[in-house]
Copies of this chain bind each other. A is one copy, B any other.
């Protein structure tokens, strides 16, 4: 993965993991328009608090992103915020830019102070290692319980100029977005060489995050550290995008890329063996459809049925029934990849279920619930709940 004007580098700083890269750096050869979305959790990590302030108060241009895995720098008090400032200063010195040009993202264990000595020791080699093929190394360095790096690229044309977008993401657990833009559900960095207005950059990112990262659930827990950074360095030389047709073209590509990353995150979720699109249709409003889809997608009983390849539709109806909206149980239909197993609230029998079960033995399918009350719909991309999820999370820290 490479893109004009962006360099990457990663080193092993020994933050938590031994013998693998855990500190990454992305550097833009030119000042980049910056946009971001962050977790809406009331408990926010130090780099998130600092990032929100920086994007709100500072100029909309940055030069670099420093990211570490193994330590979230969350629930670390004033020391945590001071450590973020120190990391910005160290990185800025090494790169010959200003501290306010550096964005910071962290992921890992909550409640431990950052080993700043190790980060200080690692930054010279990190900075020296910057190269145009180094973005793949950054993508690897940000992983925690992830098993593979998540990457996606797009090439489009904006007013005759070739424009590229490249994205990387991490996230395998504590994945459960909260409504209310701007927001995000994991770490992701989206880089583009397109030229654009800062206001367009933020609007496009917020909108695309709401349609993609904001619509996945692995375990329904929301992280203290979720951060999506978007950098546009303008080196493609296109007329600056501010909206209109070029804006639409760019947004479409951005959404496609972020959805591709979102699918990769769910597919690599902790212990995940199934990727299921839960669609609720026939609702009175998009909000009701969304809330029902989220309740179904987060239900332990529904998720264990996915794991067991069991078309146990009673659990789906029961989850929808506790989402907080009035329903008519005699109007509810359920289908798996179009194979109907429930009609008007009643099962269609063993043969239908046997056909659905065959679909469920595969890795990816859609479960659709129509509640028969209106025309609104919503989808959530989710996973099963496996014994490995429990094993991973009972062992994660110890």
Contacts and interface: CB of A to CB of B under 8 A. Distances in A.
Interface stretch (A106-114, A241-249, A258-266): A106-114
- The complex is assembled from copies of this chain, and their number is 2
A109 B326 CA distance: 23
B394 A300 contact: no
A314 B220 CA distance: 15
B222 A318 contact: yes
A222 B390 contact: no
A291 interface: no
Contacts of A307: 390, 394
A111 B313 contact: yes
Contact of A397 (B299, B300, B312): B312
A220 B300 contact: yes
Interface string A290-327: 00000000011100110111101111011111100111
B330 A77 contact: yes
Contacts of A223: 318
A211 B310 CA distance: 35
A345 B221 contact: no
Given A111-B346, A317-B224, A346-B76, A300 B43 contact: no
A395 interface: yes
Nearest to A300: B219
Contacts of A221: 299-301, 315, 318-319, 322
Nearest to A314: B110
Interface string A154-195: 000000000000000000011010100000000000000000
29 contacts: A41-B321, A42-B326, A42-B329, A43-B318, A43-B320, A43-B321, A43-B332, A75-B329, A75-B347, A76-B346, A77-B330, A109-B314, A110-B314, A110-B315, A111-B314, A111-B347, A112-B347, A174-B318, A221-B299, A221-B300, A221-B318, A222-B322, A224-B314, A224-B318, A305-B393, A307-B390, A308-B394, A308-B396, A389-B390
